[in-house]
Amino acid sequence: MRRRLYFLLPDLGSAIRTGNDLLLARIEDGHMHFLAKRGMSLGKLHEANFLQKTDLWHSMRLGFMLGGAAGLVCGIYIYLTPPEGANLQLVTILIATVVGALFGAWAASMIGISAPNVSLKRFEAVLGEGHVLLMVDVPKDRVEEIQELVHRSHPEASDHGLEPTIPVFP
């Protein structure tokens, strides 16, 4: 299980030096994600990908839960008030719940794909000023070590906490 740490760096040079120090500390490049204002080149730094920039995962989870709840309610209603001449089984409720959950996740993903990540909303203003955000995914037993490394080697970096768990996929 990994934790995502957030560090705000004042400029691209500081981001490159911090990335290099993390590489020396055996943090793989694929676990470091840099984000800057639109149009700013990050050079050879590993830029945050589409899934990290958008609200896709959050929206899908929310849509899955709400769609499942709506499907459950619809399934119960259909089961209790069947159409004339139909002999419905209890599995009708299960099918309606699954269909509702899948439809909810799909519909919500269409919205989430175009919305910025809610976790990154607090950084919008400073990114617009030219700062660089570093999101680094570290094993939970190395969180304090990496925070100490960044604080010791890069006093210009401001620590913005950690996200308790990160999705397995990104």
- pLDDT tens readout for residues 71-125: 999 999 999 998 888 888 989 999 999 999 999 999 999 988 888 777 777 777 7
CATH 3.30.450 applies to domain 2-54+132-163 = no
Burial degree of 165 (CB within 10 A; 0-12, 13-18, 19+): exposed
pTM equals 0.69
Cα 94 to Cα 90: distance, rounded to the nearest angstrom: 7
Q: Domain residue spans in the chain?
A: 2-54+132-163, 56-112
Cα 94 to Cα 38: distance, rounded to the nearest angstrom: 45
